[in-house]
Homo-oligomer: A and B are copies of this chain.
């Protein structure tokens, strides 16, 4: 992070024609963007949206309302421009990329042992890292993977503790019996992968998924490339939490786009010390909430860069000054 650029941005904020702080989080976002982009006037003209898709062996346990084949069908829908994220990315002129993580090779059933072997997990992380190119002002991160809210719940349970019931939710819409199965699968996953506990990257390998490993890699690469990141909902943030568990500063370049209705997300954000930008009862994934939040970052940058100062506009300051 470039603290000098951040200070420059903060000084400018105090001169713009508004009471200091009156734009609330838009002011914080502008300074945060400046700090990570390393320039006093941040740019938000070139946003990218990245959606990583993967399949999960645990879907055999009936933990999703949709069949596993929907992952691939939805990827095709994104390619054809029919998903929610296509409309949202299109509305803000963002470059949308969809990355398929060997959809015909789901991860292993983690109730029986690790979801991935070392090589597959490392490859997925580096695939995510390599997806990050130069030339983008911000990256919205998301996922598509039938079964991955169960994998996310297992990651959270392993990283932060608590009962499996506290981390599972209805996902795409399972009933109460499905919810109970999700908790059982999480419990069985932790039991079958006890040796991983305490090592965040082992937790990712044993209980995560290919798309979640790729997201972790992409977030890490953005950090090194000083690209601000907008995280999406529960599954995406759970992937990010692996990095946080390894290094508490690892997500300083990330904001959380929205608070998912999936109940584990609020608990997870509390553990990460983050407050989501939007709270619109969304629970779709596919980077939809993160992409929606990019608009707020663009607005923050527009106000920061375009507003007149008190001096330029000839507007009087507070009477007490």
Q: State whether the Cβ of A24 lies closer than 8 Å to any Cβ in chain B.
A: yes
A residues 151-192 in Cβ contact with B at 8 Å: 172-173, 175
Q: Which of A105-113, A135-143, A297-305 has 4 or more CB atoms under 8 Å from chain B?
A: A297-305
Q: Contacts A18-B284, A20-B173, A299-B295; is A308 near B87 (CB within 8 Å)?
A: no
Distance in Å: Cβ of A229 to nearest Cβ of chain B: 19
Instruction: Say yes or no: B73 contacts A284, CB within 8 Å.
Output: no
- Render A226-252 as a binary contact track against B, CB cut-off 8 A, 1 for contact: 000000000000000000000000000
Instruction: Say yes or no: B312 contacts A82, CB within 8 Å.
Output: yes
CB-nearest residue of chain B to A69: B316
What residues of chain B lie closer than 8 Å to A24, measured between beta carbons?
A: 261, 280-283
- Render A79-108 as a binary contact track against B, CB cut-off 8 A, 1 for contact: 011111011101100000000000000000
Q: State whether the Cβ of A314 lies closer than 8 Å to any Cβ in chain B.
A: yes
What residues of chain B lie closer than 8 Å to A173, measured between beta carbons?
A: 19-20, 318
Q: Contacts A87-B307, A91-B302, A303-B88; is A313 near B280 (CB within 8 Å)?
A: no
Q: Contacts A66-B318, A302-B90, A314-B73; is A308 near B83 (CB within 8 Å)?
A: yes
CA distance A24 to B307 in the complex (A): 33
CB-nearest residue of chain B to A22: B284
User: Could you list 16 examples of A-B contacts with CB < 8 Å?
Assistant: A19-B172, A22-B284, A23-B282, A23-B284, A23-B288, A64-B319, A73-B315, A73-B316, A76-B313, A77-B315, A86-B307, A87-B305, A88-B299, A91-B299, A292-B296, A295-B299
Please tell me which one of the listed residues B82, B279, B307 contacts residue A307 in the complex, with CB atoms under 8 A apart.
Answer: B82
Q: State whether the Cβ of A74 lies closer than 8 Å to any Cβ in chain B.
A: yes
Q: State whether the Cβ of A65 lies closer than 8 Å to any Cβ in chain B.
A: yes
What residues of chain B lie closer than 8 Å to A279, measured between beta carbons?
A: 279
Q: State whether the Cβ of A26 lies closer than 8 Å to any Cβ in chain B.
A: yes
What residues of chain B lie closer than 8 Å to A283, measured between beta carbons?
A: 19, 21-22, 24
CB-nearest residue of chain B to A64: B319
Q: State whether the Cβ of A126 lies closer than 8 Å to any Cβ in chain B.
A: no
List 10 other contacts, CB 8 Å, given A24-B280, A81-B306, A83-B307.
Answer: A17-B83, A18-B84, A18-B284, A21-B283, A64-B319, A66-B319, A76-B313, A81-B308, A86-B307, A87-B302
Distance in Å: Cβ of A174 to nearest Cβ of chain B: 9
Instruction: Say yes or no: A17 contacts B74, CB within 8 Å.
Output: yes
A residues 17-71 in Cβ contact with B at 8 Å: 17-26, 62, 64-67, 69-70
Q: State whether the Cβ of A277 lies closer than 8 Å to any Cβ in chain B.
A: yes
CA distance A282 to B69 in the complex (A): 44
Q: State whether the Cβ of A196 lies closer than 8 Å to any Cβ in chain B.
A: no
Q: State whether the Cβ of A278 lies closer than 8 Å to any Cβ in chain B.
A: yes
